[in-house]
Structure 1
């Protein structure tokens, strides 16, 4: 079993926010598999898809971005997988729009949702997929920027990177993170 958790903020008012790129990816994966987020836990929703003859649980914490770690602990209690079979997906302002990067481990890089995950798990050895949303402006504009919606032009670029990210998640389940990083981080 694998667990793919997309970070974001719940509610329709946030659905097109840059901060919800993680939600958007797991939504896309569920849509491609014909699955629906019907399984409700206390702090998250999830569904299960088949991927490379493996079961993959897709999950969205409902705790808001900066408190994602607690929801992830609940998910790991319900779906106990080793950390190498967990993938956390989130937005990344340090990557240009249209880019994505997989990493085996590392710091949160200033991302509060990922920091909550690392703090809750007590380790930086958490595989992650970062989806670039770009930041055109100074770092102090970051909070307002990530809570703003993608423009129509940005959405077409995002659409392509979400498709590529879905391929990367499938590769990660089938081939592991090293081969997937070599294939998709170029």
Structure 2
């Protein structure tokens, strides 16, 4: 087993979607990272039901490269426990890790990639940075700010509204294309392709 892992390690890409486990959270805005990884898995016929390091994990190939897809089952605030363990087990290089998650400060339906950086107030990212540092790529999926004086913590745990579903679907389709681009071409080219609409936003 370890020999197989070592043989794949140098070329393996780990893509992690963030969310909360449980049927009650399935369609929450906070779970859009799970949704994106599920859609990528379905497109490439990757079974995401294996349990490893407190995550649902699947392995396959995308663009000829070995890929591990993962959805931590620790709840959002402890995501780093699962991601750190998987990154160590598969000997993932920092540049071969992509974390996909929701972002309040990006307009709904838009997405942004970053090569590295801080948590930006996201508890799942804060946990991962505690375990792995900041030197890994992230794909942030815009869910927009809550209306009025609504508590952001309550907003992210709401399901997408019926009128939001078409835009959410388009965002997830683009997210799949961006994840495939990351596997194939790395973060810099992928940022060039998918951050073109981010003029004036932080990178």
TM-score (norm 1): 0.95
Q: Secondary structure at the match of 1:67?
A: helix
Could you tell me how far apart the structure 1 residues matched to 2:45 and 2:149 are? 39
Q: Do residues 180 (structure 1) and 184 (structure 2) align?
A: no
Cα deviation digits, residues 162-185 of structure 1 (max 9, x gap): 100110111111111101100001
Match of 2:6? none
| Aligned 8 A contact 2:146 2:152 in 1 | no
Q: Which of 12, 21, 24 is the matching residue for 2:32?
A: 21
Distance 1:166-1:114 versus aligned 2 partners, 3 A rule: same
Aligned residue for 1:58, secondary structure, equals strand
Deviation at 1:33, TM superposition (A): 1.1
Q: Which residue of 2 aligns with 1:60?
A: 71
Q: Distance in 2 between matches of 1:38 and 1:149?
A: 23
- Unpaired stretches in structure 2, ≥5 consecutive residues: 1-11, 197-203
**Does 1:73 find its partner at 2:97?**
no
Query: Shift of residue 50 of structure 1?
Result: 1.4
Gaps of 5+ in 1: none
Distance 1:175 1:94, change over 3 A: same
Contact 2:18 2:101 in 1 (8 A): yes
Q: For this pair of structures, how many residues does the alignment match?
A: 185
Using the size of structure 2 for normalisation, the TM-score is: 0.88
Q: Which moved more, 1:57-66 or 1:139-148?
A: 139-148
